[in-house]
Structure 1
Amino acid sequence: MAKIDLEKLSLEELKQLEKDVQAAIVSFEKRKREDALAAIAAAAKEHGFNLSDLVSEEKPAKGRKQPLPPKYQHPENPSKTWSGRGRQPDWIKDGLASGKALDDFLIA
């Protein structure tokens, strides 16, 4: 590769050189990508598939998990419920401390 003496170039020549280098990098990356896609397509064809068949498969959507249904309910206030997972609510702790069993709070 020819060595360029950058000290002798003007600002405009340096900027043009920079643009040319960026264009060459983009072109190189594009060629490499096309080569890789061709190799992948050939491998897919060797196994009896089209590349579009392999990459167009839909993946399950990631989303939030649905909240668990309540399993336990406050005996005096039915609006207070607990699924049985995570931290115990204070009303469960208080009930257990007073001698009740967890089964006493089950939703019938």
Structure 2
Amino acid sequence: MATKSGNNLAQMREQLAALQQQIEAAENEGRVKAIEQIHSIMDEYNLTPDDLVRKRTRGPNRKAAHPVEPKYLDPKTGATWSGRGREPVWIKGKNRERFLIEK
């Protein structure tokens, strides 16, 4: 027992499916055109796919890290710390002035 609204719903689903196919076809056509344009530009400028991939860099003219002179000394063990990075256990929470290396 089909109702008028049931038929209408079925028609709308058919229309939706047709529209989805049209959308998919248009997207594929757009992709094809975009790829053709990309190939044309690559040919014009003699580019390769490797030219399109960004090379990972650490920034402009970044120098390699160089060792930093120690700034603090543990008198008990002779361990040193530059003051960079995580605090060693022997200095953590203590007055750093008493561990300073005098120059």
TM-score bracket for this pair, using the shorter chain length: 0.5 to 0.7
Q: What displacement does 1:27 show? A: 1.5
Q: CA RMSD in A?
A: 3.9
Identity of aligned residues (%): 22
Residue by residue, what CA displacement relative to the aligned partner does 1:56-98 show, whole Å, maximum 9, x if unpaired?
x463389xxxxx977445414659764433687534xx132xx
CA spacing shift, 1:87–1:13, aligned 2, 3 Å: same
Residue by residue, what CA displacement relative to the aligned partner does 1:19-75 show, whole Å, maximum 9, x if unpaired?
22122112211111211111111011011234x3434x463389xxxxx97744541
2:63 corresponds to which residue?
none
Q: Distance in 2 between matches of 1:59 and 1:78?
A: 45
Flag the structure with higher helix content: 1
Q: Provide structure 1 residue ranges, at least 5 long, that are not aligned to the other structure.
A: 1-6, 63-67
Residue number among 89, 93, 103 corresponding to 1:90 in the alignment:
93
Q: Distance in 2 between matches of 1:79 and 1:32?
A: 69
Q: Provide structure 2 residue ranges, at least 5 long, that are not aligned to the other structure.
A: 59-65
Q: Distance in 2 between matches of 1:80 and 1:18?
A: 74
2:55 corresponds to which residue?
59
1:3 corresponds to which residue?
none
TM-score after normalising by structure 1: 0.51
SS in 2 for 1:90: coil
Q: Distance in 2 between matches of 1:16 and 1:49?
A: 46
Instruction: Give structure 1 regions of 4+ aligned residues with deviation exceeding 2 angstroms.
Output: 52-55, 57-62, 68-74, 76-91
CA spacing shift, 1:105–1:35, aligned 2, 3 Å: farther
> In the comparison of the two structures, how many residue pairs are matched?
86
Q: How does 1:24-43 map to 2 (within 5 A)?
A: 24-43=22-41
- The amino acid across from 1:10 in the alignment is N
The answer (yes or no) to whether the contact 2:74–2:99 under 8 Å persists in 1 is no
